[in-house]
Amino acid sequence: MKKEISIIVFWGAIWGLVEATLGYILHIINLGFFNISGLIMFPIGFYFMNRAYKECNKISVIFYVSIIAAFIKLTNLIIPGMIVMKVVNPATAILLEGICVLGIYKLFEKNNNYFKYILPILVSLGWRGAYALLIKLSIISGTITYFNFIVLEGVINSVFIFTLLEVPENRLKVIKTFKYPLGVSFSILALAVVIQWIL
């Protein structure tokens, strides 16, 4: 149980740290037609969720990892003058990513013959469709081109994810031998929160 908590905190914190650094940089880059941040950050987040799932062999940890990453985003709400929706929108996206990946893993839990071939497109289109629907039906604000956001960017996401899934396990020796000390996991979590506040 202790190791499982450490694994969840570790990968959630790493995800939050990457969001606070690389994600911040990518948000500054404007390609006009595509959201460069969305193209890259979801496959990275997926990798962290999938890694935690493989380490724990429990589907539920997928969502728990997204909760940690979303929590790091939401800590910005304590900063005076922060625009609430600029914090809530990305945190909502992260949670939807976790819910979508969890749901699809659960759906194919007992039938995974072709899972790795359809998984990338299902998770990419799934969370994007849910987020677009949420934006349209709720108070969460944002203007997006639905076709670009769901279909075009979703297909690009799926290509990145498929590539990540094809990385052989024997090339991940450092990760597979890591013991996940609880202190290290929570130290990374604290670092991610601090960097989130700074940036």
Q: What is the pTM of this model?
A: 0.90
Model confidence at 2, pLDDT cuts 50, 70, 90, reads: confident
Under 8 Å CB-to-CB from 109, ≥6 apart: which residues?
59
Q: pLDDT by residue (tens digit) across 157-169?
A: 999 999 988 877 6
Confidence band (pLDDT; 50, 70, 90) for 173? low
- Which pairs from 126-130 meet CB under 8 Å and 24+ separation? 126/100, 127/42, 127/93, 127/96, 127/97, 127/99, 127/100, 127/101, 128/153, 128/154, 128/157, 130/96, 130/99, 130/100
Nearest to 100, CA basis, from 135, 61, 62: 62
Measure the CA–CA gap between 6 and 74, rounded to whole angstroms.
Answer: 21
Note the Cα 139 to chain centre separation in Å.
23
Tell me the C-alpha distance between 94 and 100, whole Å: 10
Q: pLDDT (tens digit, 9 = 90+) per residue, 90-145?
A: 999 999 999 999 999 998 877 666 777 899 999 999 999 999 888 766 544 555 57
More confident residue, 174 or 116: 116
Signed CA dihedral, 54, 56, 61, 67: sign only? negative
Tokens 């929590």: give the residue.
71
Query: Cα 30 to chain center, whole Å?
Result: 21
